[in-house]
Amino acid sequence: MNSSVDKLNDHLEFIIEKAVSITKAKAGSLLLLNPKTDKLFFKIATGDKAEKIKKFEIKLGHGIAGTVAKTGKPILSHDVSKDKNWNKTISESIGYSTHSIACVPMKIKGSIIGVVEIIDKIDNKILDKTDLETLSEFAELAAKSIGDVQNAQLIQQENETLKERLSDKYQIIGNNKKLIRVINQAKKVAKSKASTLILGESGTGKELLAALIHNEGSRKNREMIIINCAALPDTLRSRTVWI
C-alpha cells in the first residue's frame, strides 16, 4: 500500500509541475481537505517557498483556497489585494508578495477533497480565464488519480478482511495426537510444490485441511477455488478440492 501512495505522490507532483509549466506560473500547490479538522493541508507545493508553505494549514472557508474548498466554485483573482477572500497571513509569513491567484476545486463523485492553485506568472502578467480552465483540467486529473488509489486501497482492505474471515472459518481446532500429526504433515506439504490428494469420508474435514494447505503455502494470496464433484459426471462422486 505504501508503494501506491508513493506513486500517487510522484504523480500528483508531476501534475502540479505540468500545470505550473503550461500556465507559466511562478508556483503551484495542491491542498487536500482533512474532513476531521475541516482544514486544508499542502500535499504538493512547488516554487521557491515550497518547503515553508507546507507547514501551514488553511481553515475551510478562510482565504481564497478555503473559500473554493467550501463553495466548490473556482476563483480567479487578478489582484489579491482587492479580493475580499484574500488572507495575506501565509504570504507574509513566508516572505512572498502574491499578486494574482487561480484556484479550482478537486472533486470525487461530487464531494470536494481539496483544491489546486497557481500563483502569479513568470512574465509578471496576471493569470487569466484560460489559465483557470487549464488548471481545472489538471485538477480533474489529480482528483482521478487520488480516487483510483482510494478505490485500490478499499479493494485491498476488503480483500484482507475477507481473508481474515475465511481464515477464521477454516480453522482446525483440536489436541488429538493424530489430528496434530495430520496438521503438521499438511504444513510440510504446503511448503512444497507437490500436488496433494486428500481422501476421507464426507464430513471429515477434507476442505478444512485443503484450506490449511492453501493458507500456509506460497499461493496464500491467490484465490482458493473449490469444486464440488457432485456437480460433475457420475464417475466423480467424491468431493475434490483444488488449491
**Grid cell of 174 as nine digits:** 483440536
- For 182-224, how does the pLDDT look when each residue is reduced to its tens digit (9 = 90+)? 778 878 887 877 778 787 777 777 777 787 778 777 777 777 7
The reported pLDDT for the residue numbered 106 is 96
Query: Which three cell numbers, joined as nine digits, stand for 237?
Result: 462422486
- Grade residue 31 by pLDDT with cuts at 50, 70 and 90: very high
Distance CA(191)–CA(216), nearest Å, equals 7
Length of the chain, in residues: 243
Superfamily for 2-150?
Answer: GAF domain (3.30.450.40)
Return the domain boundaries, the chain: 2-150, 170-241
Indicate the fold that domain 170-241 takes in CATH: Rossmann fold (3.40.50)
What is the pTM assigned to this prediction? 0.64
The Cα-based distances of 95 to 26, 54, 102, 173 in angstroms read 15, 14, 20, 67
Looking at residue 168, what is its pLDDT?
53
Q: What is the pLDDT of residues 86-143, one digit of tens each?
A: 999 999 999 999 999 999 999 999 999 999 999 999 998 999 999 999 999 999 999 9
Cα–Cα distance for residue pair 166/159, rounded to 1 Å: 10
Q: What is the amino acid identity at position 22?
A: I
Rounded to the nearest 10°, the torsion over CA 137, 138, 144, 148 is 160
